[in-house]
Amino acid sequence: MPPVKKRTALTTMLLMYSQANGLGKAMATAIEVRHLRKIFRTHERGAGLLDAAKSLFFRKYKTIHALKNVSLKVSEGEILGLIGPNGAGKSTLIKAMCGTLFPTSGSVNCLGFEPWRERVKYVANIGAVFGPKSLLWWDLPAIDTFEFLRELYDVPKEEFGKRLKKIITLLDIADVSKKPVRDLSLGERMKCNLACALLHNPKLVFLDEPTIGVDLVSKDKIRKYILEVNKEFGTTFVITTHDMTDIENLCKRIVIINKGEIIYDGLLEKIKSRYVKTKHLKVKLASPGKKFLLAGCKVELQNDYALTIEINLRNVSIESVVQYLLKNFKAADITITNPPIEEIIKEIYRK
């Protein structure tokens, strides 16, 4: 029988530290998609009555491969950004994970359920917002829909009341929720739709264009609320949007899908560092200086008290530019920023 190894004080201390900080524990998987394929068969016809009549007897069919062998995993408590151009397959993938679409082949496991086969049990654990498609009754105030959802999901009245009050305060919809939905703007309806998706405290939430039509102030409130729910309850979010500000503020990891295939799955910061070839430098000047002249830099703006420069990182380093500035100008403040994330994503699509 092999001798039993004694724990040293150091080993015990490291073990206690790892347990306290959750180290060594595998993150539970909320979503696992394996080799998912979805093929649609649709017909095409020209314009006009003659082509319409012909299509009744002689149809031209077209096969569309919406998803091609897609595989990915999402951990519990993660906020995943799913991005891609129009027609890339984002919404098809979301619908398959929600259980509203039956795939051609492959498998999807969400929270231990096969979404399209165990739909009734599964939907009690998820929330979803699909752009402007409303979860609300058109002629009734949103507050009536909220009460209906409380009954539907069997949420205790006291718990529901606290949650509803918090959501209404954070999203600023106290007055909005009492008006008929038909009288609300798109942005107001979107905030009420988000409330509908989160009132029953789901474990998994799918948000497809959650901030469409929403003003800048309300967008910020929605983002803060998503982060708060994620932090407090460990809710998993999958967000697909064309608003890259949403992605930058909410997601550490992104999945880029194009033509039905995943072309990138990883950290947002990693893709920034790989594709960022320019930086913008804004300088507030304490006093007027001479004309800025340095190879590898493009002056976008220069006046007596402000200077904006685009730096080409392939030709010059930031350190060299800052040194040149401090030597030749009296700078009151210097700010260095990356190009907008939209520009980076466009470059990836082009490649």
Q: Letter for the amino acid at 288?
A: P
At 138-151, the pLDDT tens digits run: 899 999 999 999 99
E strands along 105-245, which residues? 105-110, 126-130, 204-208, 236-240
Q: What is the mean pLDDT of residues 47-54?
A: 80
- For the chain, what are the domain ranges? 29-272, 278-350
Q: State what percent of residues in the chain have pLDDT above 70.
A: 92
Q: Is the pLDDT of residue 68 over 70?
A: yes
Query: Distance between CA atoms of 28 and 212, rounded to whole angstroms?
Result: 31
Instruction: Quickly count: other Cβ atoms within 10 Å of residue 20's Cβ.
Output: 8
pLDDT in tens, 200-217: 999 999 998 888 878 888
pLDDT tens digit sequence for 256-296: 998 899 989 999 888 877 777 788 888 888 888 788 888 88
pLDDT at 27: 67
Does residue 15 or residue 305 have the better pLDDT? 305
Quick one: average pLDDT of 326-345? 80
Annotate 247-307 with DSSP letters as a single string.
HHHH-SEEEEEETTEEEEEEEHHHHHHHH--EEEEEEEESS-------TTEEEEEE-SSEE
Average pLDDT, the chain: 84
CATH number of 278-350: 3.30.70
Secondary structure (3-state) at 15: helix
For range 300-316, the mean pLDDT: 87
- pTM attached to this predicted model: 0.76
Q: What pLDDT does 14 receive?
A: 44
Query: Which tens digit of pLDDT belongs to each residue from 96-127?
Result: 999 988 899 999 999 999 999 988 899 999 99
Instruction: Write the class of the CATH domain 29-272.
Output: alpha beta
**pLDDT at residue number 286:** 85
Q: What is the CA radius of gyration of the chain?
A: 26
CA distances from 274 to 126, 266, 268, 319 (A): 35, 12, 10, 19
Q: With bands split at pLDDT 50, 70 and 90, how would you rate the model's confidence at 26?
A: low
On the question of pLDDT at 344 being above 90, the answer is no
Q: Does residue 32 have a pLDDT over 80?
A: yes
- pLDDT (0 to 100) of residue 342: 72
Residue 92, number of CB atoms within 10 A of its CB:
21
CA distances from 288 to 122, 144, 159, 216, 299 (A): 65, 62, 61, 35, 16
Q: What is the pLDDT of residues 168-185, one digit of tens each?
A: 988 889 999 999 999 988
Structure tokens at 288: 């007027």
